Structure 1
């Protein structure tokens, strides 16, 4: 069906058998020189790439350690904050209990204000009477034993 034109090569990708003028030794030495030149040219870049890879690995390791430390610190801070919140909650509960006790006492005083007023009045009256009696006693002259026996006649 189709006619294939042949140029003498069995395969166009394989080296030609017709070209026998080439010296295979010079081809090999040229290829070796090219490899050496390429190796010399790429050696600095290869070393730089290796150093960069090492530095990147070190940085990644340092970043992982820093992240781990930060996570630990964050956990400690969160725990401390939780403890502070709990202490604050306890303080609020205690303060509200004290406020409730004061309010209860005030309400009791208001509810029993008449009795409280009467008690305060009675207390002030008793204090005044006691003070008056003590003052009268302090104002009297002291008498000797014979004068006391005779009722002040001698």
Structure 2
């Protein structure tokens, strides 16, 4: 059976005020917890933001270290390439000298011979006394 609509004269304001009072009491009771939850959420958001910033800085530093290390490795690699090129050039020059040792020896011998002859002639010329034209003409007799 259903209730009759005869009780429409009941005061609905009393029901509303009771529910409003209950809501206000609940709001007052949960307000500190709600505020604490809001503060905790804000703090965790700040902490998360700080963690993200720290992670970005760490990643940036890590990237810089990796790039710096890569540059050093590249410089070392280039130094090894240059040193091996110089060693190869020295070895090639040495091999050329060894392969043409007869020609090198002949060139050195000829150079020493020319140097000796030149110094001998220069010494002979410097050791001579200067004579006048008549003495030279007569061979030193007058």
Under TM normalisation by the shorter chain, which class is it? 0.5 to 0.7
Q: Decide which of 74, 91, 94 is 2:82's aligned counterpart.
A: 94
Q: Which is helix-richer, 1 or 2? A: 2
SS of residue in 2 equivalent to 1:152: coil
Partner Cα separation in structure 2 for residue 142 and residue 66 of structure 1: 97
What count of residue pairs does the alignment treat as equivalent? 124
- Residues 47 and 150 of structure 1, relative CA distance in 2, 3 Å threshold: farther
TM-score relative to the length of structure 2: 0.64
> Which consecutive unaligned segments of at least 5 residues does structure 1 have?
1-27
String of CA shifts for 1:11-64, please: whole Å, max 9, x gaps.
Answer: xxxxxxxxxxxxxxxxx8xx89x869956xx83x66555444433321211110
- Residues 66 and 148 of structure 1, relative CA distance in 2, 3 Å threshold: farther
String of CA shifts for 1:66-122, please: whole Å, max 9, x gaps.
Answer: 211222232233233333333332332222122111101111111222222222222
- Is 1:66 the counterpart of 2:54? The answer is yes
Equivalent residue number for residue 21 of structure 1? none
> Which consecutive unaligned segments of at least 5 residues does structure 2 have?
1-17
TM-score relative to the length of structure 1: 0.60
